[in-house]
Amino acid sequence: MIKNFLNWKTFLVLIAMLIAAISLYYANNLTKKLAIEERKKVQAMGLAFEEILQSKEGDIYNLASSLISENTTIPVIFVNKEGKIIDSKNIDSVNNADIMNEKLIQLKKAHDPIEYTVSETEKQYIYYGESQLLTQLRYFPYVLLVILFLFLIIVASYINSSGRYIQDRVWVGMSKETAHQLGTPLTSLVAWIEYLKDTEIEKAALTEMEKDVERLQLIADRFSKIGSQPQLQEQMLLDHLNNIVGYMQKRASRNVKFSMESNKQDVLVVISGPLFDWVIENLIRNALDAMDGTGNIHISVHDEITRTLIDISDTGKGIAPKNIKKVFKPGFSTKKRGWGLGLSLSKRIMSEYHYGDIFVKKSEVGKGTTFRIILKR
C-alpha cells in the first residue's frame, strides 16, 4: 500500500509542495517587512509636512522637503478633514477628478490613513497604497509556483512518454519472439497431423486436433501483428462473433450458456479480423474464469450511424469497485496464475489499431460484469 503510494510522481509532488511552502513563507515575511517599511516612510512624510507647515527654519524645511521628494514609488493622496483631495504623488491621471476619487476609494480600503497636524485646529490625512516593488513581490511566489508546476508537468509527461516507449518496445519484442518460438513446434504439429491422417486414428479427434493447431497458428499470427500497423478491412461482425462463440462453447463447461442478440441482421465493421477476434476471446475467457464453470455469457450488438456497440456480459464474480480502473493496466490480475496481459493487450488493440475503445460498462461483485467495445465508423 505504502510502496504504491510513494512512487516517483508522489515524490515530485511532495518536493514541489515543499518548495512552494518555503517560497510562500519567505515571500510573505519579506512582504510584511517591506509593507511596514513603506508605512514608516509615509509616516515620515506626514511628520515632514508638519515641519514644513509649522517651521520656518531653513535647514529643517529643506530636510522635510527632501524626505517628501525622495518618495518616488509609493502612491499617496493627501486629503483634508472634509475628505477633499488636496494633493497626490506617484499617481497617474491627476487631472481626472473621477479617476482620482476612484483611486482614493482603493487606497482607503488598502491601509489606514496617516494623520498629520496642519494647525492647532486642523488635521489632514495621507492615504497610501503599495509600491510597484511590493506588488510584484506579493505576486512573485504565485508566478514561481505556476512555473514550477508547469515544469513538473513537462517532466512527468516526458518520463511517462519515455516509459511508454520502453513498454511498447517490450510488448513488440515479446510478441515477435513469442510468434517466432511458436513457429517451430507448429510446423512439426502440422506434419504429424498429416501423418496421422494416413493411419486408423479416429477422424473426429483428428479434426479437433487440426482445429486446435489452426488456432495456434492464428495465435502466432496475432502475436506477429503486434507492433506493426494491421490492415483493416470491412467484415461481417456477427460472423466473427458466431465463429468465436462456437469455438469457445465447445471448450467451456456444459453449465455455461451462451446467447447473442443484435439490432440488425447484418453489421458491417472495419476491423483486423485476427486481432479483433483475439479481444473477444480474451473477454469470453475471462468471463469463463469468473464463473467457475456455471453461468451465462450474453453478447449484445447495437449498430448505430456513427458507431457499433458490443456488450459482453457474464454472471460471474464481478469486479471490486477499487479494481475497475486497474483491470487494463499491464501486470494487474486477480487470478493466482494470471499474467495480467490479456486486457492490457485488448485495450491496446482497440484504441491504437481500431481507433475505438473498450471499458467496463458495469460490474457488481457476486452478480457479474459487462465489458463494452466501441467501434467507430
For the stretch 150-188, pLDDT in tens is 877 887 777 666 666 666 665 665 665 565 556 656 676
- Neighbouring CB atoms inside 10 A of 92's CB total 11
Total-model pTM: 0.52
* Count of structural domains, the chain: 2
What is the spatial distance between Cα 126 and Cα 113, in angstroms, rounded to a whole number? 5
209 within a domain of the structure (yes/no): no
Please count the other Cβ atoms lying within 10 Å of the Cβ belonging to residue 294: 12
Domain co-membership, 245 together with 359: yes
C-alpha cell at 1: 500500500
CATH code (residue 300) = 3.30.565.10
Average pLDDT on 49-78 reads 65
Give pLDDT, residue 1: 42
From 130, 151, 184, give the residue that closes a domain: 130
Reported as a pLDDT band with limits 50, 70 and 90, residue 191 is confident
DSSP letters of 10-45?
A: HHHHHHHHHHHHHHHHHHHHHHHHHHHHHHHHHHHH
Q: What is the pLDDT of residue 269?
A: 95
- Cα separation of 241 and 283, whole Å? 12
Shared domain check, 119 and 6: yes
The residue out of 130, 163, 186 marking a domain boundary is: 130
Shared domain for 236 and 368, answered yes or no, is yes
**Rounded mean pLDDT of the chain?**
80
- 211 within domain boundaries: no
Q: Are 126 and 255 in a shared domain? A: no
In this structure, is residue 137 part of a structural domain? no
In a domain, residue 105? The reply is yes
The whole-number pLDDT of residue 284 equals 94
In a domain, residue 109? The reply is yes
Asked whether residue 285 is assigned to any structural domain, the reply reads yes
Which among 300, 280, 294, 298 is positioned nearest to 342, based on CA atoms? 280
Question: Domain range holding 60?
Answer: 2-130
Residue 50 belongs to some domain of the structure: yes
What average pLDDT does range 78-94 have in this prediction? 80
CB under 8 Å to 340, separation ≥6 — which residues? 329, 330, 331, 332, 333
Looking at the structure, do residues 103 and 235 belong to the same domain, yes or no? no
**What is the arithmetic mean of pLDDT over 319-335?**
82
Q: Answer yes or no: is 298 within a domain.
A: yes
Q: Which tens digit of pLDDT belongs to each residue from 242-300?
A: 999 998 888 888 899 999 999 999 999 999 888 899 899 989 999 998 998 899 999 99
Which of 130, 154, 172 corresponds to the end of one domain?
130
pLDDT recorded at residue 8: 63
